[in-house]
Structure 1
């Protein structure tokens, strides 16, 4: 029986097979079952249950043992075949492999009917005892009880290894499945695209002629809550003549789901004033696909799926020349805020009344501060809590940048500043290779790489660190004026996308005539960006037992000697024999002891 699973890596943990009551094989299994009457009665009863009840989390898990057995291809063991109400006919193949140790629905079903539970994932803390489990455990740690897959860490590697094995054995294949269903696009509300159809008693449903398109929403509507679709009360809109026979007819009052509009709006940006066609194929060919799409994860199975589907339809119609509308997708996390009344941290939203006014923040702290804090608040893909103290911290940082630039300008030499370019050439001999010079190159590298990865919070953190280093060098007088001015200008160039107003102002004050917008992004020297010292991780039999601060490029003998001398490491190797050392320069040394 073909089954679909998103976790083939848990195949060794499958202890039963479950089919939807609507599965085509259900009648056949009922006929072959030693309990044919019982199975048939259950199938009939389960099909009458509402879909909502069957899909509900925590709902009653029910089923019947068919008395038929299947063979688990990974373990070679026979497992019972059940028909269960929580298995849906349109999910995958309508049949699932039950892995109760690592799936909550399977766990509840197994506990209800006394089915075996076999864990196949464990953590470093130990294995999971099925007898002591009160709920399914997540797929964490690494595989065990899984034959040749043992030791494989949780994640894409485990899934890929399982698929490779399954395909090599000829018992299945890797496949991408979509939970697509019919899309009901009609809505009984005013705000939406009118459906261009007219209902005639003689002719039936008649499309609005092309010459009469687009159908515009009327303005003589009265919005009264709880009284249905306001379009139905607009006689100007509803009462029309049939375009086919001329008889009195009625315009369709349902409007399209606004998801229909958002499924192709990105294409309309290319020719927004063209009233003769929806898409300009030439412009679409030149500009599509969208390079980067940023949106909430809640759109992944709605708007984004619809947009991909519509793009394929438009390709079939010859309006675009590609199937995929978006090149890259980034899902940002939610912003939360503490509710003083309840003491709870809640999602920030207009409906909750806990939003922050950008206008008020800008009036108090400036636009640059708001931009810096918004990017610094945390990993953009994670949930982050809004904090007024954080805004003040960003404000203080920009003040420190201002004070730094003021100090650099005060001590700068009278000689003209060298012309700015994309590289950091023109360094004075004294500055070349100084700690500040090296940090400058490392900061360029970090900010550039972090920005490319959308890690804006760590990019801002690197700029804060760089600002502190320049300020300390200025206060100590440890660098010549030209080196300080060069470093300050690099700071301004890197900070400019985040805080354009302050940086543009100081860029000009420090002697530059061209706008920062017209200045090339700085480039780092890979050799200069290397830190002179690195943190070397020390492992004993594969587990981290210490960390060492060593010079970059230290040899294996030196690293081994330092590891032996470390007090934390000594506690794990004392009285034991170091059989060999595995050394990865500048990264780690693993001591294999016995």
Structure 2
């Protein structure tokens, strides 16, 4: 019978996938978990096709889940779909179809791809955020938040396309124009929007970063700390001269108040539209606002970027000296800082200095360096260090650090300000003027105003007959859905046509997985308590701020509602790097390693790789090529190398399967060993077990764990079982069975096939994870190379703990070494412990 030399993955992998499914191996244990482990990867948007970044994150999670099951844990490893979002709606507009059918087809495609990869999900717990059995609970949570005072409705600036007559997402604005109507400039309009008051939890979110998230990467906690942005300072009450209204400004530098020469406000500031209404420069200012908003946050906060602004023609009154100062819109001011209005002190802030020089605004020094005098006319840069107060009325002569406190106290006494703590974090704007999202469950009644839909009437379902003509909000095209009776008074009502930000969906899904079929509440408290927190959460570091911060916020809100008792949702966070490949940037012509991208043309299709090499090769390469936290450079040579490794194991099973089965199944113990070759192989078995257990279970370093498997397989290949020696044959079979077990987290199909062919009982996925024996790891003797005048002339075996004298005696007694030292005088002997003995002779 011919021996196949290549691993027939096309037959092997589907066979074992069927076996796992038939036995329901991945089903979550029923009842309260005894020794629980919750493995969760960030669930994907169902685009219809997995990419290599997906393969990496989900293979990492699967390797951990498989190990934990074999270690005896009750494992929860679910999968679902973050299935609301703009791409489905855009596809509906393009094809004049409903997004639900498109989304469900994409889900079916991706579920099949997960199956082909051998990912061990409990599909009975599958959730999809676009199905009403999920988004019903979005609406329930939203109304409960409203009842808790955590939901507000107020004006905010949005992107508006006059031709579409609808709000656009930032992604739909391209170079300041509508993505559908490239000749139409997008406007910034203030519209009533829904907000979640995440700022109510700012201090706790910040505090728990330090106290409860020690197992998170420092990079992530640092990003969240910066995003929350706690600052201590003063809230100063300026006044708008032309309207008399108060204009509060937050500053960390109250010591510079007397040097304020202008005010800069964000383009998105809610009062700007009213300030410029009817003025000669209204159109000019509005055009500048549109331009600034389209620049994006990164460009506006770039220190090297050009400072741009426009005068509004109105003025603010400085409360410390009653001085009138002009108000500008400046491109570098963001609404997320302070109040969206910044007192500008050109002499003591570099951005203000550059802006003032560009627009001819006065620069006035109010802090002098100790022992020096600055002349504003001669300054080439702002002076930002501490110093001595000057031109600051009664505060002249004070150290500037002391003046911060005294000026703040003076403001408070005068009713012109107060000491305060501000956060960079802003309330979360969650309303979207889109169709494909969770309908916000409120009704507008002419008599009652805003009325929440009763909880028992949820869900408010999306209509199935909305029209996607590309103009207006599709929800407004279905009058039988839109026009309803007020729940309170019975009068005419109109449904809210805004839908929720899709980040709302993903902010609590990890809790729904603990009880996904519950029809009474979002999840049972006991079920959540049994499984939460998530023990390991795997996903990209690009979600460090929004998704992870929002999930932490939701957990605390749901705790305060009494639905859970925990404070944080994710115990440990594993952020994997990107998958890179060589490509050429079409804009610059630069060729190098880029993140895989269609625009760069460097994408590797997982479907094609699995079809050509099999799922196990794909899994092994993606886990071996780089530590998970690092970026992974794609390498066809690396894929080929992993394919060779798989085929070598396959040939070993094919060529020696009968002999390995005949050898018997009992493990060999250290006490049975007498031969050094046997001892070395047994040591390698236990060393590989120790390394894989530690590297996967503790360090999540899959590349080094796979290296340990390779070294064990090399040792198996080098070992020659002695004819007629039952112990030798049993040890050889033990090593091969152990290899099958250790490979299971990484190459589960190959591991099952190998296990079966060497006589293993049952499925390898159901085996208990092995332990290692310290006695087997103990090295009793070691081999030392012996050099004579710099060249290796022999090798001697000595006790592992042998000292220099014992090694010297063994070296001098070795017959081979003696041939090179006979008749010569030994001038020097050096012993490098455990490695080398060196003789210098003349």
Range of TM-score over shorter length: 0.5 to 0.7
- 1:512 aligned to 2:732? no
Question: Which among 220, 226, 246 is matched to residue 490 of structure 2?
Answer: 246
- Report the 3-state secondary structure (helix = DSSP H, G, I; strand = E; otherwise coil) of the residue aligned with 1:434: helix
Name the residue aligned to 1:434: 679
Name the residue aligned to 1:261: 505
Name the residue aligned to 1:393: 641
Moved more, 425-434 or 234-243: 425-434
- 1:58 aligned to 2:278? no
RMSD of aligned Cα (Å): 4.5
Moved more, 177-186 or 341-350: 341-350
Residues 124-163 of structure 1 aligned to structure 2 (within 5 Å): none
- Report the 3-state secondary structure (helix = DSSP H, G, I; strand = E; otherwise coil) of the residue aligned with 1:194: coil
Q: Spell out, residue by residue over 1:225-264, the C-alpha distance to the aligned partner (whole angstroms, 9 max, x if none).
A: 4x34322223232222222233332211111111111111
In structure 1, what is the Cα distance between the partners aligned to 2:778 and 2:497? Answer: 67
CA contact (8 A) 1:441 1:524 kept: yes
In structure 1, what is the Cα distance between the partners aligned to 2:800 and 2:304? Answer: 55
- 1:298 aligned to 2:542? yes
CA contact (8 A) 1:440 1:466 kept: yes
Name the residue aligned to 2:707: 461
In structure 2, what is the Cα distance between the partners aligned to 1:188 and 1:54? Answer: 26
In structure 1, what is the Cα distance between the partners aligned to 2:433 and 2:745? Answer: 44
Q: 1:45 to 1:206 in 2, by over 3 A?
A: closer
In structure 2, what is the Cα distance between the partners aligned to 1:530 and 1:233? Answer: 77
Structure with max Cα Rg: 2
**What is the deviation of 1:586?**
8.5
In structure 1, what is the Cα distance between the partners aligned to 2:423 and 2:729? Answer: 62
**What is the deviation of 1:451?**
0.6
May I ask how many residue pairs the two structures share in their alignment?
Answer: 428
Q: 1:201 to 1:316 in 2, by over 3 A?
A: same
CA contact (8 A) 1:492 1:507 kept: yes
Q: 1:319 to 1:425 in 2, by over 3 A?
A: farther
In structure 1, what is the Cα distance between the partners aligned to 2:761 and 2:735? Answer: 18
Residues 276-315 of structure 1 aligned to structure 2 (within 5 Å): 276-315=520-559
**What is the deviation of 1:501?**
1.7
Name the residue aligned to 2:463: 218
- Report the 3-state secondary structure (helix = DSSP H, G, I; strand = E; otherwise coil) of the residue aligned with 2:459: coil
Q: 1:204 to 1:362 in 2, by over 3 A?
A: same
**What is the deviation of 1:554?**
7.2
- 1:450 aligned to 2:695? yes
Q: Spell out, residue by residue over 1:310-361, the C-alpha distance to the aligned partner (whole angstroms, 9 max, x if none).
A: 1111111100111111111110111122237864432224676654333332
- 1:529 aligned to 2:777? yes
CA contact (8 A) 2:512 2:522 kept: yes
**What is the deviation of 1:494?**
0.5
CA contact (8 A) 2:266 2:334 kept: no
**What is the deviation of 1:90?**
6.9
CA contact (8 A) 2:559 2:566 kept: yes
- Report the 3-state secondary structure (helix = DSSP H, G, I; strand = E; otherwise coil) of the residue aligned with 1:339: strand
In structure 1, what is the Cα distance between the partners aligned to 2:574 and 2:833? Answer: 35
In structure 1, what is the Cα distance between the partners aligned to 2:622 and 2:597? Answer: 16
Moved more, 44-53 or 342-351: 44-53
In structure 2, what is the Cα distance between the partners aligned to 1:456 and 1:233? Answer: 53
Q: 1:277 to 1:376 in 2, by over 3 A?
A: same
- Report the 3-state secondary structure (helix = DSSP H, G, I; strand = E; otherwise coil) of the residue aligned with 2:521: coil
- Report the 3-state secondary structure (helix = DSSP H, G, I; strand = E; otherwise coil) of the residue aligned with 1:273: coil
CA contact (8 A) 2:709 2:743 kept: yes
Q: Spell out, residue by residue over 1:164-184, the C-alpha distance to the aligned partner (whole angstroms, 9 max, x if none).
A: xxxxxxxxxxxxx97532100
Q: 1:425 to 1:462 in 2, by over 3 A?
A: same
In structure 2, what is the Cα distance between the partners aligned to 1:425 and 1:551? Answer: 17
Name the residue aligned to 2:475: 231
Where structure 1 has 5 or more consecutive residues not aligned to the other structure, the ranges are 1-5, 8-17, 32-38, 63-83, 95-103, 116-176, 536-549, 560-583, 588-594
In structure 2, what is the Cα distance between the partners aligned to 1:502 and 1:207? Answer: 56
Name the residue aligned to 2:260: 40
In structure 1, what is the Cα distance between the partners aligned to 2:351 and 2:639? Answer: 44
Name the residue aligned to 2:514: 270
CA contact (8 A) 1:431 1:480 kept: no
**What is the deviation of 1:288?**
1.0
Q: 1:221 to 1:556 in 2, by over 3 A?
A: farther
Q: Spell out, residue by residue over 1:440-474, the C-alpha distance to the aligned partner (whole angstroms, 9 max, x if none).
A: 22211111111121111111122112212221224
Q: 1:254 to 1:520 in 2, by over 3 A?
A: same
Per the normalisation by structure 2, the TM-score is 0.45
- 1:493 aligned to 2:720? no
**What is the deviation of 1:280?**
0.6
Q: Spell out, residue by residue over 1:74-106, the C-alpha distance to the aligned partner (whole angstroms, 9 max, x if none).
A: xxxxxxxxxx99798977999xxxxxxxxx999
In structure 2, what is the Cα distance between the partners aligned to 1:324 and 1:253? Answer: 33
CA contact (8 A) 1:189 1:228 kept: no
Q: Spell out, residue by residue over 1:480-533, the C-alpha distance to the aligned partner (whole angstroms, 9 max, x if none).
A: 332222211111110122112222122122122232123221222235336777
CA contact (8 A) 1:408 1:488 kept: no
CA contact (8 A) 1:293 1:330 kept: yes
In structure 1, what is the Cα distance between the partners aligned to 2:518 and 2:489? Answer: 32
- Report the 3-state secondary structure (helix = DSSP H, G, I; strand = E; otherwise coil) of the residue aligned with 2:712: helix
Q: Spell out, residue by residue over 1:509-564, the C-alpha distance to the aligned partner (whole angstroms, 9 max, x if none).
A: 212223212322122223533677799xxxxxxxxxxxxxx9965769999xxxxx
Question: Which among 552, 560, 567 is matched to residue 323 of structure 1?
Answer: 567
Q: 1:29 to 1:557 in 2, by over 3 A?
A: farther
In structure 2, what is the Cα distance between the partners aligned to 1:196 and 1:228? Answer: 20
CA contact (8 A) 2:741 2:764 kept: yes
Where structure 2 has 5 or more consecutive residues not aligned to the other structure, the ranges are 1-220, 223-232, 237-248, 270-291, 309-329, 341-349, 368-421, 785-797, 808-831, 836-842
Question: Which among 585, 607, 617 is matched to residue 359 of structure 1?
Answer: 607
In structure 1, what is the Cα distance between the partners aligned to 2:736 and 2:659? Answer: 13
Name the residue aligned to 1:75: none
**What is the deviation of 1:55?**
2.2
In structure 1, what is the Cα distance between the partners aligned to 2:304 and 2:467? Answer: 43
In structure 1, what is the Cα distance between the partners aligned to 2:431 and 2:606? Answer: 36
Name the residue aligned to 2:449: 204
CA contact (8 A) 2:677 2:719 kept: no
Q: Spell out, residue by residue over 1:141-178, the C-alpha distance to the aligned partner (whole angstroms, 9 max, x if none).
A: xxxxxxxxxxxxxxxxxxxxxxxxxxxxxxxxxxxx97
